Structure 1
Amino acid sequence: MDQNENRQLEGRELDKVFTDKASGKDAKRPQLEALLDFVRDGDTLYCHSMDRLARNLDDLRKIVLGLTKRGVHVCFVKENLTFTGEESPMANLLLSVMGAFAEFERELLHERQREGIALAKRAGKYRGRKPTMTAERAAELRRRAAAGESKSGIARDFGISRDTLYRYLAVVAPRKVTAKPARKRAGREL
């Protein structure tokens, strides 16, 4: 899904903008890590919404609490909430409830996606992602592996992970199956 980062913080004067194209579900994002390294005591972090920072309640709490302990104020524009590090039961409740809603919303999205895919499959309209590996490329991959080339090098050249490489290597070309005549045993056919 395309996102318009300019729209998300429109009207704010910002010193520096950190934007990850990856989903908020992953706490290991390059720009998030750069942001965490950059902010200092007295800074205010403006984030469009909680689900842009993290979609998992545990990650959200960890990030917000880690920032506020360092003296960074965390402001979520969409939710109109600011966390300053002042311990208050209401702030903890709001962070937990709103974070739980973000996580719940993400799970609902995936459930709807799975339901939509199941319906499309039943209707014969869903084909899934097109394979990235043609039969010719898979044969070339197997040939190079059989010649003793490094698996890491092959995976890199083909733009696939080593796990994917090993899955392709494990697939044996279909063999011709011939019917065997039934064995006779004590006068009976099996």
Structure 2
Amino acid sequence: MTYGYIRVSTDKQTIENQRFEINNFCEKNTLIVDRWIEETISGAKSVQERKLGKLLKRMKKGDILICSELSRLGRNLLMIMGVLNECMNRDIQVWTIKDNYRLGSDINSKVLAFAFGLSAEIERNLISQRTKEALARKKAEGIILGRPKGRKSSKTKLTGQEKRIKELLERKVSYSAIGRILGVHRLTVSSFVKERV
């Protein structure tokens, strides 16, 4: 079976770019994704705490896991290497699109996986370091960082859904049911209704 794996760190990021890349790749290579696994979770969470962990347990010899890039598998080199090592030991292939790798159980795949996992981690660390330095400089210059105190963001998860929520409320649909329909918690619906609807 061929699995498409998509992970974003926050609900502000979109899964659509990764899905588009994987679909595009599969079209060019006459492949069909049998099952999609999508999750919104930090790559720092252990593999067992993520849908990826459950997927890996289910995968069998000869299966293919396609993702946009190695960094989708984990936040750091050890985590990525752990996933790749498990896949290689069980003859599960891992294909990445941006990096354009086909990782199997051969020694070349293991060397490539190590090298590219390492470079991905170094790149993330450099970006993080540059961001911290820029923030420290702004703070030293007296610039106040972050959202002003007591001010909420004008955009929420439900922004743009006002009309639909109003229709559901008119049909006597509960906050819990509206939350399930829109993929949010009932308290998110409740506070949104109080403020916007």
Q: CA deviation at 1:43?
A: 0.7
- Equivalent residue for 1:26? 45
The alignment partner of 1:124 has SS state of: coil
Deviations 1:92-119 (A, max 9, x none): 2211110101110110121012112112
Unaligned runs of 5+ in 2: 1-11, 27-31, 151-197
Mark the structure with the bigger radius of gyration: 1
Find the partner of 2:55 among 28, 35, 49: 35
Q: What is the identity, as a one-letter code, of the residue corresponding to 2:67?
A: C
Alignment of 1:95-174 (within 5 A): 95-128=113-146
1:138-182 CA deviation, whole Å, 9 max, x = no partner? xxxxxxxxxxxxxxxxxxxxxxxxxxxxxxxxxxxxxxxxxxxxx
| Aligned residue in 2 for 1:7 | 20
Give the corresponding residue for 1:59: 79
Aligned-pair Cα RMSD in Å: 2.3
TM-score norm. by structure 2 comes to: 0.58
- Identical columns (%): 26
Cα-to-partner distance string for 1:9-29 (whole Å, 9 max, x where unaligned):
132221111122223333344
Aligned residues between the structures: 130
Which of the two has greater strand per residue? 2
Question: TM-score w.r.t. structure 1 length?
Answer: 0.60
Q: Which stretch shifts more, 18-27 or 106-115?
A: 18-27
> 5+ residue gaps in structure 1?
133-190
Residue equivalent to 1:73: 93
Inter-partner Cα distance in structure 1 for 2:57 and 2:148: 39
